[in-house]
Chain A
Amino acid sequence: AQSVTQLDSQVPVFEEAPVELRCNYSSSVSVYLFWYVQYPNQGLQLLLKYLSGSTLVKGINGFEAEFNKSQTSFHLRKPSVHISDTAEYFCAVSESRRGSTLGRLYFGRGTQLTVWP
């Protein structure tokens, strides 16, 4: 089974500051990696995903993430945040082998990003 650790439960930052949300995973097989965002009173939206190829992945709203296989990490970054980025962010993994457990995702516990003016 997979496990995902989001190292910070809460990250407060000021508007226009850079931010990094950390995610580490453990798995005995190759994985796909995802970041989802949840705005208040809404479901989860896909922010970006890593499947293969370039380890730097760009997503929506100016976010990007870097896959580091040796450190089993997939940290999310944004160079300059806005008030509207205030939300909860979830890191998730799934097995990449064909026929694996039907696209099951394993989620971290989430990081609440709060952007202050």
Chain B
Amino acid sequence: DVKVTQSSRYLVKRTGEKVFLECVQDMDHENMFWYRQDPGLGLRLIYFSYDVKMKEKGDIPEGYSVSREKKERFSLILESASTNQTSMYLCASSTRDTSNQPQHFGDGTRLSIL
């Protein structure tokens, strides 16, 4: 069965800390995505990656970076966390070049920045 695993369900960090959110998929998917979800705003794309070491900015990349050193793992990094980055973060993966294939989602990480 398809599995996207996010390392933490809940995370609490302090302002200014460097924060790592990890995502692993076991489906050998080429594409991986990071979204943040906020009430009334739906899902907004932060970054995505279509191959190892490749990355593309989404709609709201400011304040974030990503790392894809292995095909199965896609990390989201908050270089210096701020309170406005308190949110639900969702990771997803999909196969390459087939827009009709659905994205598979992890259960999300609820991040609080204090």
Contact = CB atoms under 8 A, between A and B. Distances in A.
Interface of A: 6, 9, 32, 34, 36, 41-46, 49, 51, 90, 94-100, 102-105, 107-110
A102 B43 contact: no
A49 B97 contact: no
B43 A43 contact: no
Interface stretch (B14-22, B70-78, B79-87, B103-111): B103-111
Interface of B: 4, 9, 31, 33, 40-43, 45, 48, 50, 56, 90, 92, 94-103, 105-108
A95 B40 CA distance: 24
Contacts of A9: 40
Residue of B41, B94, B102, B108 ringed by the most chain A CB atoms within 10 A: B102
B100 A49 contact: yes
Contacts of B4: 43
7 contacts: A44-B43, A44-B92, A44-B103, A44-B105, A45-B105, A97-B99, A107-B42
B108 A90 contact: no
B101 A43 contact: no
A100 B97 CA distance: 7
- Per DSSP, chain A at the interface is loop
A103 B96 contact: yes
Given A43-B106, A43-B108, A102-B31, A110 B101 contact: no
A31 B95 CA distance: 17
Contacts of B56: 102
Contacts of A36: 105
Contact of B101 (A42, A90, A98, A103): A103
Contacts of B98: 103
A14 B108 CA distance: 29
A108 B37 CA distance: 11
A95 B62 CA distance: 25
B102 A46 contact: yes
A41 B110 CA distance: 9
B102 A34 contact: yes
